[in-house]
Structure 1
């Protein structure tokens, strides 16, 4: 049985913020609209400030309301952690684990993780949100997630790294591209080919802009997109190349649709990929199991990809 220790006014605030109106929250919760309205007004009176802007088309959180919502989410996350720890003390493998992950893992690492846990730990539930590294760091600090797997998370004394690894950049191309099958290429040579680039809102492009912005100046990329799926489809056509990591394109590299050509420049700094938790909070056993699974699965998949590429490059002697 759930603990339900989150105060009712905060439950109602969450529902109104999620649905956009008192009436919609009423339908969602099965609670009378008048009861929800009274609780919201009482909460605003206690806070001595409006938590919502009220419009003809609905309600929108004020800055104070956003702060209250963050507190509600932290409270709910702590409620789940307490329930999980109590179950652990009773010897039950049970709980909900909140994970922040990158979009590039949505068709590779994450489906395998969900399938593995459904088989091995059927009483552990996963709540996975796709976030940017900046969002993941913020939500980890807020306590609304249990752990994050993200690119280039900065060092922070409040974070504990369960696992981390460098993630080098390379040129990703499709069949028919001049770089297909190359064992390596210098960055200056790679820059001579038309580029398909991720948009600046995505972590890999942000990292490249900070260190190798000259790649995109003065020549604009032939394609800029915030859709990793579109980018991979375009690369498969064999005309454009992208600078990316193997993890971004893992499924297509595993199937041979795309090829990864390492950059040979010795001074290039790779990205990093890390599994991180908040060092200030007790880590539930279920979350630790998820962290351990990620720390095992990601390097295994990358190592298997390297082995497959090596086998193709060096066919067995007859």
Structure 2
């Protein structure tokens, strides 16, 4: 960021919240710890409210501290947006785009987005924050990100959906797995096979637990993780299966490293993937290009994967 419009006290509060202590923030920013501590205490005195809980090990933001962190992020985002708009007024391509997205996009769509920007628009800087859908919706509403892409995004009043597409749930396995030859399957048929699974705190697993709690009660995963990369590594070994959305393994399905067998269970509601912006704020040209790429490229990737693993209804 070329502009320095974010007040230093806000930057310091944000850094302490991120790094967990004044000393850690000092090392990250290259600013004396005494200066950071002095600015935070001055803010606390002016607002007559503590911004942090001083714990035995480190510091944790209070509700007031969290509000200041949101303000700092919004101020930073507005500063970057201003820089981008001024560059566009001068006829220059560049600026910054902040995107909130899911971990399942990290080794596919987001890598392709980075590669495309570097090749076609090298002056555009991209910041990607990986977070849960509810957090992505909140960050978009707060103005700290410009574009959000996630499953089943909570609908807020000022959201504008650029694109939304239905995904499929299925069983993801390696080519040599016993379930690999089926055109379709069901939870009953997967019952008894060794499973890996997303952690119970993640949205896809929560949905499946709420609708089909019996399945995981009878089939405790041999590996549960919030890392899709770890789960897909386990799947490639060939002896386990995973119930999830096709989006979670799009690159591997397209390359034939993993197979997607659609589930036919009645009442299994397909998740929705959306690209969303905030309708209250003008979108920079850079953010518009990023959002348009996300839509077109995700549609292309889904079409490629479905050509490899068509729905039973398409046969």
TM-score, length-scaled by structure 2: 0.89
3-state SS in 2 of match to 1:243: strand
Deviations 1:196-216 (A, max 9, x none): 222211221112122222322
Q: Aligned equivalents of 1:235 and 1:28: distance in 2?
A: 38
User: Which ranges of structure 1 fall in alignment gaps of 5 or more residues?
Assistant: 311-318
Q: Which has the larger radius of gyration?
A: 1
Q: Secondary structure at the match of 1:254?
A: helix
Q: SS where residue 119 of structure 1 aligns?
A: helix
Deviation at 1:278, TM superposition (A): 1.7
Extract unaligned runs of 5+ from structure 2: 311-315
Q: Which moved more, 1:234-243 or 1:136-145?
A: 234-243
Give the superposition deviation at 1:31.
Answer: 4.0
Decide which moves more: 51-60 or 182-191. Answer: 51-60
Moved over 6 A (4+): none
- Identify if the C-alpha distance between structure 1 residues 64 and 106 changes in structure 2 by more than 3 Å, giving closer, same or farther: same
* Alignment of 1:301 onto 2:301: yes
The separation in 2 between residues aligned to 1:51 and 1:90, in whole angstroms, is: 40
- How has the CA–CA distance of structure 1 residues 76 and 218 changed in structure 2, closer, same or farther, with 3 Å as cutoff? same
Provide the TM-score with structure 1 as the length reference.
0.89
3-state secondary structure, aligned to 2:126? strand
Task: Note closer, same or farther for the CA distance 1:24–1:183 as it changes in structure 2 (3 Å cut).
Answer: closer
Counterparts in 2 of 1:275 and 1:34: CA distance versus 1, 3 Å: same
Between Structure 1 and Structure 2, how many residues are aligned? 310
How far off its partner does 1:245 sit?
1.7
**Alignment RMSD (CA, Å):** 2.2
Q: 1:120 to 1:220 in 2, by over 3 A?
A: same
CA distance in 2, matches of 1:263, 1:297: 25
Could you say which residue in structure 1 is the equivalent of 2:245? 245
* Partner SS state of residue 157, structure 1: coil
Does structure 1 residue 229 correspond to structure 2 residue 226? Answer: no
Q: Secondary structure at the match of 2:116?
A: helix
- Whole-angstrom CA distance in 2 between matches of 1:196 and 1:259: 15
Three-state SS of the structure 1 residue aligned to 2:161 is strand
